[in-house]
């Protein structure tokens, strides 16, 4: 059933029940996100896609289209809130972009440019999280993790369906962990997928690094806004 809604005053028609962040993108309106991936189940963990829907703030990845919906994306207060959420991610981890293997391909870095972040308004914690290199093919740079949970939900053992990654602990003690036995059974294509869906440089494929380029600096040649609106995040 077709519904009529308004995004920043613009009248839009879409199917009831569709995901707001996708509909906005289809109409050339970019709403940044760090956990949502089009075509996959919504995680709703990062809240960077927050917008105003009928007067209430909610993540655009969980909002479903309904007739008469009024959405504000560019409203200054909610835009600043999105920027604050991105800044919080930088302050809570150690994101030294010039020395990171994923610089130029990092979604956190790209979204920071998109929301016009200059420096975090929050004190930097300089968290110390122990690296994990016990798996045969995967290196975990834990202090870069933003706990988006993409790897937890979307990367599973091919035979059993069991989760390979997990979040353990809470608050400042939370960390990303890996089931080494299951990880060592991952085929090369799945290892590459895990590294690629990580929005930051937390999951690194061993054997690929500075001496062996791990990818083009995609967000420097085309912005994350343009890639999302064109349906290409590869």
Regions in the chain scoring below 50 on pLDDT: none
The CATH number of the domain holding residue 23 is 3.10.20.740
- Domain end point (choices 72, 103, 119): 72
Q: What is the domain count for the chain?
A: 2
- Predicted local distance difference test score (pLDDT) of residue 19: 97
Check whether residue 36 and residue 134 sit in a common domain.
no
- Predicted local distance difference test score (pLDDT) of residue 109: 94
The CATH number of the domain holding residue 176 is 3.30.70.20
Taking alpha carbons only, the member of 227, 195, 165 closest to residue 32 is 227
Check whether residue 96 and residue 174 sit in a common domain.
yes
134 assigned to some structural domain: yes
Check whether residue 118 and residue 159 sit in a common domain.
yes
226 assigned to some structural domain: no
Average pLDDT score over the chain = 92
- Predicted local distance difference test score (pLDDT) of residue 207: 85
What is the extent of the structural domain holding 192? 89-211
Check whether residue 65 and residue 99 sit in a common domain.
no
Taking alpha carbons only, the member of 127, 61, 65, 106 closest to residue 204 is 106
203 assigned to some structural domain: yes
Check whether residue 94 and residue 202 sit in a common domain.
yes
234 assigned to some structural domain: no
Check whether residue 170 and residue 98 sit in a common domain.
yes
């Amino acid at each position: 059933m077709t519904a009529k809604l308004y995004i920043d005053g613009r009248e839009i028609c879409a199917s009831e029940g569709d995901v707001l962040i996708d509909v906005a993108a289809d109409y050339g309106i970019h709403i940044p996100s760090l956990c949502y991936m089009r075509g996959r189940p919504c995680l709703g963990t990062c809240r960077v896609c927050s917008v105003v829907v009928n007067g209430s703030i909610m993540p655009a990845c969980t909002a479903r289209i309904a007739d008469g919906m009024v959405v504000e994306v560019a409203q200054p207060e909610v835009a600043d809130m999105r920027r604050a959420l991105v800044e919080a991610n930088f302050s809570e981890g150690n994101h030294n972009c010039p020395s990171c293997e994923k610089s130029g391909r990092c979604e956190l870095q790209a979204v920071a440019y998109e929301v016009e972040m200059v420096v975090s308004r929050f004190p930097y914690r300089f968290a110390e999280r122990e690296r994990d290199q016990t798996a045969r093919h995967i290196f975990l740079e834990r202090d870069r993790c933003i706990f988006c949970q993409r790897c937890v939900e979307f990367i599973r053992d091919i035979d059993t369906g069991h989760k390979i990654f997990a979040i353990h602990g809470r608050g400042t003690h939370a960390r990303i962990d890996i089931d080494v036995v299951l990880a060592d059974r991952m085929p090369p294509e799945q290892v590459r997928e895990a590294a690629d869906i990580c929005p930051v440089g937390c999951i690194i494929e061993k054997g690929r690094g500075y001496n062996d380029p791990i990818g083009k600096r995609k967000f420097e040649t085309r912005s994350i806004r343009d890639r999302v609106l064109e349906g290409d995040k590869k």
